[in-house]
Amino acid sequence: MKRAAMVWRKMSGTLRVGIALIGLLGAVALGAPWLAPYDPNEQLDSSAAYLKPPGTRLAAIRLAGGGWLLAESVRRTPDGLEAIRRGESSHFAASEVLNLTDEGVADSRVFRLGSDRFGRDLLSRLIYGARVSSVISLLTTVLALTLGLAVGSLAALGGGVLDGVLMRIVDALLAFPDLFLLVALAALFRPSDALVVVVLAAASWMSVARIARAQLLALKDREFVLAARGMGRGWLGIWWDHLLPNALGPILVQAALLAGSTILIEAVLSFLGLGIQPPRASWGNMIAEGQNLLSSAWWIATFPGIAICVAVISLHLVGDGLRDRFDPRLRTTAEG
């Protein structure tokens, strides 16, 4: 605990803000069932809750016949309830309503960030969307990191023809405008979460491979490596004990940036209808749903975009902070 506090104090402001924001995002993702006010897919009286602006409060009438109705306003009458639903007044007998009180009804629904065209609560969907984004981003980054490290290490340690072949493959893949490739791949296979992760990782491991290779090349002729070689250690042991720990800094920086760009690209794929499929909420497909409703319901497309920005900014802050921490001079070389 004390050690953790010390590490925290030694961090730069950038790094602290970034880590705090990511922690928040992770907490929201993990705690979604408790934090979300409603079920993200629940369509409670979708005709009355159709496209409600942020902050709308609707009275929730629990019917004796089962189910709920939402109303803009309710007024208690001597023999029951008078409700204004979608601008029209309707009357309920006291026996029809289960949650009747002296003023009206006991329950209400608040759409803090508004509702969509199915009457679903946007805030709840946004919170559940954080799950999708963080899980996909985390898995993709781990996969891309593993693949990139493997290829980069093989190229650096194998040298010669192997290095040449692997790096030409990396060049060829980097020459692809990644989105064209992603869209093509995502459309040719049946959409699924696993596909999104694999496709994203396949399009992003190259930068890790390049950095890992450059780092290992710089390290592998250093004295401490030669010493380990002289003591008879194999390359695998040296890689794990000496090369990897020393090369880790720039690779971690790249991982943070990668996690950020993954969130962006996942959102793009979902926006184009090739990523996470509705009705499951992801920030990208929420924006897609809002696209055609821009003029009538600006909030649907706006809030998920802000969430994406905050998530990506915080990952970039972590990347920047780590970069400055490991080596301030890396600022120009780590881009390549």
Partner 1 sequence: MTSFLLRRLGASVLLLWLVLSAVFFIAHATPGDPSELFEDSRMTPAEQANLRRIYGLDRPLLEQYVLWLKAAVRGDWGISMVQNRPVAEILGGAVLPTFALATSALAIQLGVGFLFGVAGALRRDRPLDHVLRVLSLIFFSLPVFWLSLMAILLFAVHWPLFPAGGMWSIGAESLSPLAQARDLLWHLVLPASALGLAFSGFLARYVRSSLLEALGQEHIRMARARGISERRILGIHALRYALSPVIQFLALAIPGLLSGSLITEVVFSWPGLGRVGFEAVIGRDYPVILATTAFAAILVIAGNLAADLALAAVDPRVRDAQMSRAPA
Q: Interface residues with partner 1 (CB under 8 A)?
A: 164, 168-169, 171-181, 183-185, 187-190, 260, 264, 267-268, 271-272, 274, 287, 290-291, 294-295, 298, 301-302, 304-305, 308-309, 312-313, 316-317, 331-332, 335-336
Q: How far is the CB of 305 from partner 1 (least distance, A)?
A: 4
Q: What is the dihedral of CA 13, 14, 16, 17, to 10 degrees?
A: 110
Q: Which is nearer to partner 1, 63 or 172 (CB)?
A: 172
Q: Which is nearer to partner 1, 143 or 330 (CB)?
A: 330
Helix ranges, the chain (H)? 2-10, 13-30, 32-35, 122-158, 160-175, 178-188, 193-202, 205-219, 223-230, 235-238, 244-271, 283-291, 298-326, 330-333
Q: Which is nearer to partner 1, 53 or 237 (CB)?
A: 53
Token pair in block for residue 119 = 């009457």
Q: How far is the CB of 292 from partner 1 (least distance, A)?
A: 10
Q: In the 8-state DSSP scheme, what is residue 327?
A: -
Q: How far is the CB of 167 from partner 1 (least distance, A)?
A: 10
- Residues constituting the chain: 336
Q: Which is nearer to partner 1, 6 or 175 (CB)?
A: 175
Burial class from Cβ neighbours inside 10 Å (0-12, 13-18, 19+) for residue 147 reads middle
Q: Which amino acid is at 274?
A: L
Q: Which is nearer to partner 1, 80 or 273 (CB)?
A: 273
Q: How far is the CB of 157 from partner 1 (least distance, A)?
A: 20
Q: How far is the CB of 143 from partner 1 (least distance, A)?
A: 18
Q: How far is the CB of 84 from partner 1 (least distance, A)?
A: 29
Torsion region of 86: left, alpha or beta (phi above 0 gives left; psi -120 to 50 gives alpha): left
Q: Which is nearer to partner 1, 74 or 301 (CB)?
A: 301
Q: Which is nearer to partner 1, 155 or 301 (CB)?
A: 301
Q: How far is the CB of 72 from partner 1 (least distance, A)?
A: 25
- Reduced to 3 states (helix: H, G, I; strand: E, B; else coil), residue 82 is strand
Q: Which is nearer to partner 1, 176 or 224 (CB)?
A: 176
Q: What is the dihedral of CA 276, 281, 287, 291, to 10 degrees?
A: 90
Cα 145 to Cα 94: distance, rounded to the nearest angstrom = 63
Q: How far is the CB of 326 from partner 1 (least distance, A)?
A: 16
**How, if at all, do strands 88-93 and 80-85 pair?**
antiparallel
Q: How far is CA 233 from the centre of its chain?
A: 42
For residues 25 and 311, is the Cβ–Cβ distance under 8 A? Answer: yes
Cα 254 to Cα 219: distance, rounded to the nearest angstrom = 18
